[in-house]
A and B are shown apart, each in its own frame.
Chain A
Amino acid sequence: MNHDFSELEGILARYPKAPASLVMLLQDIQEAYNYLPCEALQQVADELKVPHSQVFSVATFYKVFSLTPKGRTIVRVCKGTACHVRGAQLITDECERLLGLRPGETADDLEFTLEVVNCVGACAMAPVVVVGEKYHGAVKPNRVRKVLGVKRC
Chain B
Amino acid sequence: MHSMQLNGRLVNFEAGQTLLEVARANEVPIPTLCHHPGLESHGGCRLCVVEVTRAEWDGWWRMVSACEFPAADDLIVATESERLSRTRRNVVDLLLARCPETPFTVALGRDFGLAKSSLAPRAEPDDCILCGLCVRVCAAVGAHAIAGADRGVHKQVGPPYAPPSFERPPGLAPAGDCIGCLCCAEICPTGHIRYENNAQGREIWGRSFRVVECASCGAPLGTPEQLDHFAARSGLSRDYFERCDACSKLDTARAFDQQVMGEGTS
Contact = CB atoms under 8 A, between A and B. Distances in A.
Interface of chain B, helix or strand or loop or mixed? loop
B166 A51 contact: no
B133 to A, nearest CB: 15
Contacts of A41: 160
Given A52-B176, A52-B177, A53-B177, A38 B161 contact: yes
A22 B169 CA distance: 21
A42 B171 CA distance: 12
Contacts, number: 41
B147 interface: yes
A67 B161 CA distance: 10
Interface string A48-91: 00011111110011000001100000000000000000000000
Given A56-B161, A61-B151, A38 B169 contact: yes
Contacts of A42: 172
Contact of B149 (A38, A51, A57, A68): A57
A145 to B, nearest CB: 34
A99 B177 CA distance: 41
Interface string B225-249: 0000000000000000000000000
A51 B147 contact: yes
Contacts of A61: 150-151
A67 B166 CA distance: 9
Nearest to B170: A38
B166 A53 contact: no
B100 interface: no
Nearest to B159: A53
A57 B145 CA distance: 11
Contacts of A52: 144, 160, 176-177
Nearest to B166: A67
Contacts of B174: none
A56 B147 contact: yes
A38 B241 CA distance: 35
Contacts of A67: 166
Interface string B155-171: 00001110000110101
6 contacts: A39-B171, A53-B145, A53-B159, A56-B147, A56-B160, A60-B151
- A-B pairs, 6 with minimum CB distance: A51-B144, A56-B160, A53-B147, A57-B147, A38-B169, A60-B149
Given A52-B160, A53-B146, A54-B144, 8 more contacts: A51-B147, A53-B160, A53-B177, A56-B147, A57-B147, A60-B149, A60-B151, A68-B167
